[in-house]
């Protein structure tokens, strides 16, 4: 399944019901990472990454693909790469694999926005009638 196909399935879901366990497995098997906001300060990851990242006082995060895996693989590995992630505030011009987070952005009428220049598909998450979050789906193969 591609990121575009999974986005069509997930788009429009409700807060706290963003993705099913079956869809998480499908995402992982296809090298996809689904990202959305939860609890006002954390980005949730599902698929190849299954974790969360506190973004309190941070504007950006990076996902790195480390290409040397020796021995047993963890659940956060895909095609012999370990994925690591961390938040930061100052973005440099030459940074790779950068994602931005914004609260109440001017460009989109939602509470939280995750964005990147990495090829991605967007997903809109709702809290009742409120447009809560614009998340996204990436393919790990697109990380540099």
Quick: pLDDT tens for 73-100. 444 455 545 567 777 877 777 788 899 9
Assign 103 a pLDDT band (cuts: 50, 70, 90).
very high
β-sheet bridge partners, residue 85: 63
Residue of 123, 100, 102, 116 lying closest to 47 (CA atoms): 123
Q: What is the mean pLDDT of residues 15-26?
A: 96
Whether residue 107 has pLDDT greater than 80:
yes
Q: Where are the domains of the chain?
A: 3-92+100-139
Q: Is the pTM of this model over 0.85?
A: yes
Q: What's residue 78's pLDDT?
A: 52
Q: What is the mean pLDDT of the chain?
A: 86
Residue of 25, 31, 26, 54 lying closest to 138 (CA atoms): 31
Assign 130 a pLDDT band (cuts: 50, 70, 90).
very high
Residue of 127, 120, 133, 134 lying closest to 33 (CA atoms): 120
Q: What's residue 129's pLDDT?
A: 94
Whether residue 144 has pLDDT greater than 70:
yes
């Amino acid at each position: 399944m591609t990121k575009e196909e999974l986005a069509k399935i997930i788009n429009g879901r409700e807060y706290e019901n963003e993705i099913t366990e079956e869809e998480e497995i499908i995402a992982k098997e296809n090298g996809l990472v689904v990202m959305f906001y939860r609890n006002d300060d954390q980005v949730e990851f599902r698929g190849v990454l299954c974790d969360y990242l506190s973004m309190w006082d941070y504007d950006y995060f990076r996902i790195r693909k480390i290409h040397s895996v020796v021995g047993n693989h963890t659940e956060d590995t895909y095609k012999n790469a370990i994925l690591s992630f961390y938040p930061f505030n100052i973005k440099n011009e030459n940074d790779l694999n950068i994602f931005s987070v914004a609260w109440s952005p001017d460009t989109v009428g939602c509470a939280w926005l995750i964005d990147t220049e990495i090829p991605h598909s967007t997903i809109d998450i709702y809290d009742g009638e409120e447009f809560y979050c614009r998340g996204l789906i990436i393919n790990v193969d697109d990380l540099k």
